[in-house]
Amino acid sequence: MTNSPVMDTTTTLDSDLGRCLQLKPTLSQLGLEPVIIGVGRVVLGSGPDADVLLPVEGVAARHVEIHFDGESSRLKALSPLTWVNDGPVREVHLESGDVLTLGPVEYKVSHIAVPAPPPLPVEMSVSGSGETPEPSRPTQATSSRRYARTPEAASPRGAAEPVVGAAVETDVLALVDEAVASANLHRDLERLEREAEWHRRHAGNSEAGPTETAHLPRRQVPATNSGHHEGRGHDLEQRLVNLVRQQEVAGKDRSSPSPSHAVREGEFTQRGLSSGELTAERRKLADQQLELREALASLQQDRDRLAEEQNKLEDFRDHLQSQQRELARSASEWEAKQTEFDTAVEALDEDRDLLRREREA
């Protein structure tokens, strides 16, 4: 049966990609791109083991771990410099609108819906075996900086890194392959030169010493030894010439790079010039973040000290109020005694007046 191409327009979008978690940076000076996380477990940090790479000073190698199941997001802090909104956290569920702080980096959390891509035609051959090629499934967790490498989540096909895009990566790989080919070419040239020199010396020795081989039995002297080595040496010299020409062509190609290479080199140069400014800005922001944390800690200490002094003042006030009540009670008692004393004095005055009148009478 003749194979005929059949167009398969079946949509292969995974249903789990309907909702994704988006971390959008709030500080544009750091040059970070938004991070989009699908279903799976992803580690964010500045180390080589992180699934999402954040090359910022102040971010730990493994800073946080985020697990997204398609509906809710759970964050586990691996570094103490992890804040959500206004306070440090160890493990928390992320909601839309939360502000996630990883050292000097600050993200705005949101849940977004990812639209299904248009169906891609897939060529399938119809044969007697009935086997059809299985279309590739889309991935479930992506990042704008680095793609997740967990079993549950992988990078999407065709997604471009912001630092080195697909075209730049292709050019870099081409340059690496060219360098490897040049090294192999040099090695082959050296080997062929040594081999050609050995064959030339061996052929010269066989022509210069016929008297030595005359005493040997005829069957031990190869009749075509000299011609064989001369032919072998000629072949090696020809190959050597061809390799030298290939090396010259490769050198010309390297000396005159393509326009795309020139553009990429210009981009790399521009990024290299601005990397110093970005590094200085990152350090400045990190220092400001540390100063804010230290100021917050100092304010907390002052608040605790003021609260302690306030408690002492309240205790002293209670003590004064108690003494005031005792003094008021004592004053009441003294007033009562004063009244009794005044009454007794009046009675004595009356008795004295009475006695004086009796004496006068």
- Indicate which CATH number applies to the domain containing 141: 2.60.200.20
> Has residue 14 been placed in a domain?
yes
Same domain, 347 and 295: yes
pLDDT at 312 over 90: yes
Residue 105 · residue 25 · CB < 8 Å? yes
| Structural domains of the chain, count | 3
Residue 268 lies in a domain: no
Q: Is a pLDDT exceeding 60 seen at residue 15?
A: no
Is the pLDDT higher at 6 or at 167?
167
Question: Is residue 285 over pLDDT 50?
Answer: yes
Residue 227 has pLDDT above 70, yes or no: no
Residue 70 to residues 94, 117, 141, 289, Cα–Cα distance (Å): 13, 18, 11, 33
Give percent of the chain with pLDDT exceeding 90.
27
Phi-psi region of 90 (alpha: psi -120 to 50; beta: other; left: phi over 0): alpha
Within a domain: 46: yes
Query: Where a domain ends, among 163, 183, 211?
Result: 163
Q: Residues 78-97: what's their mean pLDDT?
A: 91
Do residue 341 and residue 325 come from a single domain?
A: yes
What pLDDT band is residue 95 in, cutting at 50, 70 and 90?
Answer: very high
DSSP H or E stretch at residue 338: helix 259-360
Q: Judging by DSSP bridges, how do beta strands 87-88 and 52-53 pair with one another? A: unpaired
156 in the same domain as 27: yes
- 183 with 156, same domain: the answer is no
Asked if the structure places residue 213 within a domain, the reply is: yes
Distance CA 307, CA 21 (A): 42
Per-residue confidence band for 108, with pLDDT thresholds at 50, 70 and 90: very high
H-helix or E-strand spanning residue 192: helix 166-208
For residues 148 and 222, state if they share a domain.
no
Domain of residue 204 covers 168-256
> What is the average per-residue pLDDT within 149-156?
38
Asked if 57 contacts 283 with a C-beta cutoff of 8 angstroms, the reply is yes
In a domain, 275, yes or no: no
Strand partners, 5: 125
Q: What is the pLDDT of residue 23?
A: 92
